[in-house]
Structure 1
Amino acid sequence: MSEWTSFGRIDADGTVYVKTAEGERAVGSWQAGTPEEGLAHFARRFADLVTEVDLIEARLSTGAADPARSATSIRRLRESLAEAHVVGDVDGLAARLDKLASLADEKAVQQRAERDAARAEAVARKTTLVEEAEQIATESTAWKVSGDRLREILDEWRAIRGVDKKTDGELWKRYAAARDGFARRRGAHFASLDASRKQAQGAKEELVAQAEALADSTDWTETANQLKELMNQWKAAPRASKDAEQRLWAQFRAAQDTFFSRRSEVFSARDAEQKDNLARRQELVARAEALDLEADPRGAQSAMREILTEWGQTGRVRREAAAPLERRLRAVEDKVRKAMDTAWRRPDPAANPLLDQMRSQVTEAEERLERARTAGDQKRIAEAEDALASKRQLLALAERAT
């Protein structure tokens, strides 16, 4: 009772007053019971206000309440105290509300600053993403990686909150424009690439056709050079699409393999034949070097003619293998010729001018053959060999007749 009477009273007619620093103020009328009951009734109303203020203070201190809304509620309560129908320490509650109002304002300012900072950070993050997207759109040629990154940027974008609608809309327009620009540039690249691949396919189809046309050629050296040149052109040409490239390469290689396999077979047979020819020439040279020029020059000459005839019938031999044998054979020919010259210069009771003339013709024919071999003219060699064989045969007949 003493607490209530210190903040309010009821007069004889039932009017209830609250005591404040500014004086008493009528807050209501009580006719339903004793003055104590009336003061208790208005005191409970004051207690309800205190409870509401306690709740606001608790929520504000824990951060559960929105400071701006709390400030509005505090000011509403503070303004209502001037006409509140309560009995209690109105001045103390007013002072408390004033402090809470200052605290709420401080927290509201802090909250706005935090929201502004968060908004600025969110704007900065989205701006960074937009700038990255714009750089990708104008510079990147790593089409798959960049396309994946643009989708990742979109996912990151959607996770960012707190940007105002206007700024967000402007940044989104920039991102969308960058994404569309990248898509157009990528599309143009692959369209150009498709055109290039089609052109490359046409060029390689032509190379395949040329290779296949050469596959059955027997001009081994020239065709091999042509196929090598086609291979160089193939390597220099752009790549076609993967399937076309594999298919055309298989055809191109098959044509080359056909030609080189055939050439290999022919060269193998030729090598075997030339190996036999070489062995035959080695045998002939051995026979020539074994001739006894001192004992029987004329017999050696006759044997040498037979060796030379067989030599001309041995067929082709590789130049590097044939050259040493030819030098050895010519050395024997020179020895035979010198031996015959010596024999002709000896006094011969049976000397015959006709035989001398025929021997001279044989010598001239041998010299012509030697000149033809030196020149490497196969036609002249063949003609000279035939002429020499004929003259040697006539001389042999004449010598037997005498």
Structure 2
Amino acid sequence: MSSEPWGRVDEQGTVYVRTADGERVVGSWQAGSPEEALAYFERKYQGLAAEIALLEHRVRKTDLATKDAQTALDHLRAQVVEAHAVGDLESLAKRLDTLTGEIETRQNERKIAKAKAQDETRAAKDKLVAEAEQLAESTQWREAGDRLRALVDIWKGLPRLDRKSDDELWHRFSHARSVFSKHRKAHFATLDSEREQARAVKEKLVAQAEALSSSTEWGDTAAAYRDLMTSWKAAGRAQRDAEEELWARFRGAQDVFFQARSATFSERDAEQGENQKLKEALLVEAEAILPITDLKAAKAALRGVSERWEAIGHVPRDAKPKLDARLNTVERAIREAEEAEWQRSNPEARARATGMTSLLQSAVDKLQGELDKARAAGNASKVAKLENELAGRQLLLDQALKSLEEFSG
């Protein structure tokens, strides 16, 4: 008979294992020595211990599922209880008991981690839903649309909750997206309608602008183009392609008209500039009549100047008042000379000449005072006007004094 600390083989070849509850038969051996029998059953023990060691490693070092770990542990426990092996089976059972506690701890930890992960997922999805519902009312179509698409990608990357919770949150999330899409479609449908209306209005405005492009009614047509531009701005924008094409036609029609007007005005301005030069030359000739020494010759000279003046035509608007004022001064001097000539043949002329001289002197003095004040005030336009008036009155006064001298003579 052969014996070891954990088992023995009797004379009949029966193999026993020693346990805390006593010996238990694990097999028989007839083919060799008792030592070989014990070695064989010890190897079976070592194999069982190796399986337990492997399960310990998987439980402690890998993410083996709790269910799979428990199944493997139950299987090994049954093997240990009924093991046909020789060795310290009680230590194997204790190791399995320890693993049982570890598996339970792992299971609890995973439950806690899963619950925490679910809470975090719920919070994340609640946040996504809240943002989506807020974006549903946005009118920032591009930015909100891009953000909603990004939220979908974030949602897809999150774990699922329990079916009921996940479905409820997804329904709210999806509904928010649908509301936004509906509002956006309605907005762009309205916008398309408004743009189509704007296109129709602008096509009419373009037609009117093109019809006016050949007009030579410069003032009325320029005003009409201003009105068309006001209507254009009030019409709103058409679709981009149509807007650009219509605007090009509208601007083109305007350009044709205003370029033609500019060319005409340039030609007219050049012509009127030449007319101004001619009238200025005539004024030099007219002003040379003064002071009047021969009334008949002066009147003949002024008639010649006036005839040529009228034949010249228009001058620039801003030059006309000054030119007319200079000619009027000469005309007024001749009229007053005529009046003085008549008065000299009148018995009462001397008295009237004296009175006229006095009135003219008063007028000259008054104008001189006003001129001095205008110069002191720096009023250039008033100075120019008063200088012209003063020159005219001074001429009249000189003429009156001369007439009075003639009466004295």
Q: TM-score range by the shorter chain?
A: 0.7 to 0.9
Q: Match for 1:256 among 223, 236, 254? A: 254
Equivalent in the alignment of 2:303? 305
Equivalent in the alignment of 1:315? 313
Per the TM alignment, residue 20 of structure 1 is displaced from its structure 2 partner at its CA by 1.8
Mapped pair 1:117 → 2:116 = yes
Equivalent in the alignment of 1:278? 276
Equivalent runs, 1:85-100 vs 2, <5 Å: 85-100=84-99
Equivalent in the alignment of 1:356? none
Please give the alpha-carbon distance, in whole angstroms, between the structure 1 residues aligned to 2:139 and 2:192.
Answer: 19
Equivalent in the alignment of 1:83? 82
**1:274–1:318: 8 Å Cα contact kept in structure 2?**
yes
Q: Match for 1:239 among 237, 245, 267? A: 237
**1:81–1:90: 8 Å Cα contact kept in structure 2?**
yes
Mapped pair 1:330 → 2:328 = yes
Per the TM alignment, residue 244 of structure 1 is displaced from its structure 2 partner at its CA by 1.0
Please give the alpha-carbon distance, in whole angstroms, between the structure 2 residues aligned to 1:260 and 1:317.
Answer: 22
Mapped pair 1:66 → 2:65 = yes
Equivalent in the alignment of 1:105? 104
Please give the alpha-carbon distance, in whole angstroms, between the structure 2 residues aligned to 1:175 and 1:207.
Answer: 47
Long gaps (5+) in structure 1: 349-402
Question: What amino acid is aligned across from residue 94 of structure 1 in structure 2?
Answer: A
Distance 1:345 1:177, change over 3 A: closer
Determine helix, strand or coil for the equivalent of 2:16: strand
**1:15–1:29: 8 Å Cα contact kept in structure 2?**
yes
Per the TM alignment, residue 97 of structure 1 is displaced from its structure 2 partner at its CA by 1.6
Per the TM alignment, residue 57 of structure 1 is displaced from its structure 2 partner at its CA by 1.5
Per the TM alignment, residue 163 of structure 1 is displaced from its structure 2 partner at its CA by 4.6
Please give the alpha-carbon distance, in whole angstroms, between the structure 2 residues aligned to 1:329 and 1:295.
Answer: 18
Please give the alpha-carbon distance, in whole angstroms, between the structure 2 residues aligned to 1:309 and 1:168.
Answer: 104
Per the TM alignment, residue 169 of structure 1 is displaced from its structure 2 partner at its CA by 4.3
**1:201–1:245: 8 Å Cα contact kept in structure 2?**
yes
Question: What amino acid is aligned across from residue 199 of structure 1 in structure 2?
Answer: Q
Per the TM alignment, residue 136 of structure 1 is displaced from its structure 2 partner at its CA by 3.2
Please give the alpha-carbon distance, in whole angstroms, between the structure 2 residues aligned to 1:136 and 1:99.
Answer: 55
Please give the alpha-carbon distance, in whole angstroms, between the structure 2 residues aligned to 1:347 and 1:9.
Answer: 183
Please give the alpha-carbon distance, in whole angstroms, between the structure 1 residues aligned to 2:254 and 2:207.
Answer: 11
**1:293–1:336: 8 Å Cα contact kept in structure 2?**
no
Identity %: 45
Mapped pair 1:25 → 2:21 = no
**2:283–2:326: 8 Å Cα contact kept in structure 1?**
yes
Per the TM alignment, residue 16 of structure 1 is displaced from its structure 2 partner at its CA by 3.6
Distance 1:51 1:347, change over 3 A: closer
Equivalent residues, number: 346
Determine helix, strand or coil for the equivalent of 1:9: strand
Backbone CA RMSD of aligned residues: 2.9
Per the TM alignment, residue 198 of structure 1 is displaced from its structure 2 partner at its CA by 0.5
Please give the alpha-carbon distance, in whole angstroms, between the structure 1 residues aligned to 2:298 and 2:123.
Answer: 111
Mapped pair 1:208 → 2:212 = no
Q: Deviation string for 1:286-313 (max 9, x for gaps)? A: 2221115543122112222332333333
Please give the alpha-carbon distance, in whole angstroms, between the structure 1 residues aligned to 2:285 and 2:200.
Answer: 63
Equivalent in the alignment of 1:46? 45
Distance 1:337 1:231, change over 3 A: same
Q: Deviation string for 1:12-37 (max 9, x for gaps)? A: 55544322222233334445554444
Per the TM alignment, residue 123 of structure 1 is displaced from its structure 2 partner at its CA by 4.3
**1:17–1:26: 8 Å Cα contact kept in structure 2?**
yes
Please give the alpha-carbon distance, in whole angstroms, between the structure 1 residues aligned to 2:292 and 2:305.
Answer: 18
Equivalent runs, 1:1-40 vs 2, <5 Å: 5-40=4-39
**2:213–2:257: 8 Å Cα contact kept in structure 1?**
yes
Please give the alpha-carbon distance, in whole angstroms, between the structure 2 residues aligned to 1:8 and 1:294.
Answer: 166
Question: What amino acid is aligned across from residue 235 of structure 2 in structure 1?
Answer: A
Determine helix, strand or coil for the equivalent of 2:312: coil
Question: What amino acid is aligned across from residue 109 of structure 2 in structure 1?
Answer: Q
Q: Deviation string for 1:113-161 (max 9, x for gaps)? A: 3344344444444444444444333325232x44444444444444444
Per the TM alignment, residue 243 of structure 1 is displaced from its structure 2 partner at its CA by 1.5
Distance 1:69 1:140, change over 3 A: farther
Q: TM-score, normalised by structure 2?
A: 0.74
Distance 1:64 1:289, change over 3 A: closer
Equivalent in the alignment of 2:388? none
Please give the alpha-carbon distance, in whole angstroms, between the structure 2 residues aligned to 1:137 and 1:72.
Answer: 50
Please give the alpha-carbon distance, in whole angstroms, between the structure 2 residues aligned to 1:89 and 1:28.
Answer: 17
Per the TM alignment, residue 317 of structure 1 is displaced from its structure 2 partner at its CA by 2.5
Equivalent in the alignment of 1:397? none
- More displaced, 286-295 or 149-158? 149-158
Question: What amino acid is aligned across from residue 195 of structure 2 in structure 1?
Answer: R
Distance 1:57 1:274, change over 3 A: same
Determine helix, strand or coil for the equivalent of 1:199: helix
Please give the alpha-carbon distance, in whole angstroms, between the structure 2 residues aligned to 1:197 and 1:292.
Answer: 73
Structure 1 segments (4+ residues) deviating >6 Å = none
Please give the alpha-carbon distance, in whole angstroms, between the structure 2 residues aligned to 1:23 and 1:201.
Answer: 105
Equivalent runs, 1:338-357 vs 2, <5 Å: 338-347=336-345
- More displaced, 168-177 or 82-91? 168-177
Equivalent runs, 1:57-206 vs 2, <5 Å: 57-63=56-62, 65-143=64-142, 145-161=143-159, 163-164=161-162, 166-206=164-204
